[in-house]
Amino acid sequence: MPPRRNPHRTSESIDNYLKAILTLSGPHGEGAAAPKRVASNALAAQLGVAAASVTNMLQKLAAAADPLVEYERHRGVLLSPAGRRRALEVLRHHRLIETFLYKVLDYPIEEVHDEAERLEHFISERFEERIAAKLGHPDFDPHGHSIPTLEGEMPRQQSILLTEATSGTFIVDSVSDRDAPTLRSLQAHGMTPGTRIRIAKRAASQSDCCSVRIGRSAKPLDLPREVAREIRILPLTK
């Protein structure tokens, strides 16, 4: 069994902070640009907590004997190497649990995120190893998101946001798991990872819709810009 990756215990709240910072700091796969500093206000909005609470937590994490973040007031926050390791460990737990719930326990796709949120902090490394083995060591979760490796590595992200594409035919790479009703609606329309889509109309403004044709359907599906931003796509290769 590999050595324990997280030598000090962290609370559920701390794990949520670390994972949110990882998410907001930009693409974090192999070959990605250096992570950007995350503003306290953005972190507060992501976590749904008061800005003052965020400041207090970041100061605490930065002042620890083995700091989990690098924090400067008015300049934002970055994960320290120890914080990044823990964030990727929790993210691996989350995405493995989602995959297990969906593929083995037949959970509806829109329910796996919230269930994984509750469980991700508490599973042992032995349990994590057994889940991964049972699933055949998957690379992606049901939403198309990469699962960090046991060593805390992520593949380079090649996909783009649907809102960044102008025209052409693409494959859906991943869909956000943050909003269950939207996820359920997208699945009902067949907008799932691996699906072929063709852009019929680009969202030209914040209030405009992006229209896509899914699979062989001739009828376009109009997606509000805020929904289109939750979908990542890859160019179709012949």
Mean pLDDT by 10 residues, the chain (238 residues): 51 94 77 79 94 95 94 92 94 97 95 94 93 96 94 85 89 90 89 92 67 88 88 85
- For residue 214, count other CB atoms closer than 10 A to its CB: 18
From the list 89, 92, 99, 111, the residue with the least C-alpha distance to 193 is 99
Distance of CA 45 to the CA centre of its chain: 16
What domains does the chain contain, in order, with CATH numbers?
1-157 (1.10.10.10), 160-235 (2.30.30.90)
Residue-level pLDDT at 104: 97
Residue-level pLDDT at 40: 94
Contact, 172 vs 193, CB < 8 A?
yes
Residue-level pLDDT at 238: 59
Distance of CA 176 to the CA centre of its chain: 7
What pTM was estimated for this model as a whole? Answer: 0.84
Residue-level pLDDT at 63: 93
Percentages helix, strand, coil for the chain, rounded to the nearest 5?
Answer: 40, 20, 45
The rounded distance, in Å, linking the Cα atoms of 151 and 138 is: 14
The rounded distance, in Å, linking the Cα atoms of 71 and 77 is: 4
Q: What are the φ/ψ torsions at residue 11 (nearest 5 degrees)?
A: -85, 170
**188 three-class SS:** helix
Residue-level pLDDT at 204: 60
